[in-house]
């Protein structure tokens, strides 16, 4: 959304006094791995650059507080959760690669990477093998919830 504050202001007009407005957004930049591997960091960078090339706010979860306040709403209550996984069977690597797969057209258009350089069909398996061999733990994007009640 080009103007998140204006959108939120418009949406609040559909609520009665005392109504609750709530959003769940992600902080994509919180995707990480410990210890970080070269293949994971490269994959993460492709995902972040792919989203950014389309105008996605990469830290919208963390921006919810300011967005609510700039829209004239009371300060929201907030909570966050972040998935963590490790080992060769972790589904999270497949999810990360699926996100990357969906971004391939945008990545190609923006000149971020070439399809052959990514090796999308084997990437999840390569990530899993590396993670298991090096006892790496990965953190998915943080999910941030914010909600408030209209005065």
Could you read off the pLDDT of 33-45 as tens digits, one per residue?
999 999 999 999 9
Instruction: Report the pLDDT value the prediction gives residue 19, as an integer from 0 to 100.
Output: 95
Q: What is the percent of the chain where pLDDT is above 90?
A: 89
pLDDT tens-place string over residues 132-151: 999 999 999 999 999 999 98
Instruction: Report the pLDDT value the prediction gives residue 86, as an integer from 0 to 100.
Output: 87
Instruction: Report the pLDDT value the prediction gives residue 2, as an integer from 0 to 100.
Output: 75
Question: Count of domains in the chain?
Answer: 1
User: What is the span of the domain harbouring residue 44?
Assistant: 4-149
Residues 5 and 67 sit within 8 Å (Cβ to Cβ): yes
Structure tokens at 138: 């990965």
Q: What is the pTM of this model?
A: 0.89
Q: Tell me how long the chain is.
A: 151
What is the spatial distance between Cα 118 and Cα 147, in angstroms, rounded to a whole number?
39
């Amino acid at each position: 959304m080009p103007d998140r504050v204006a959108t939120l202001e418009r949406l609040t007009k559909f609520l009665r006094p005392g109504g609750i407005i709530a959003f769940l957004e992600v902080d994509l930049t919180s995707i990480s791995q410990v210890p970080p591997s070269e293949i994971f960091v490269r994959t993460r960078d492709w995902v972040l650059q792919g989203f950014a090339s389309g105008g996605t706010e990469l830290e919208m979860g963390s921006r919810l507080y300011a967005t609510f306040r700039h829209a004239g709403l009371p300060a929201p209550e907030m909570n966050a959760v972040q998935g963590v996984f490790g080992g060769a069977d972790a589904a999270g690597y497949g999810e990360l690669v699926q996100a990357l797969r969906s971004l391939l057209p945008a990545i190609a258009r923006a000149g971020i990477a070439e399809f052959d350089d990514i090796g999308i069909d084997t990437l999840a398996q390569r990530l899993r093998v590396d993670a298991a061999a090096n006892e790496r733990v990965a953190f998915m994007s943080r999910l941030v919830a914010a909600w408030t009640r209209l005065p």
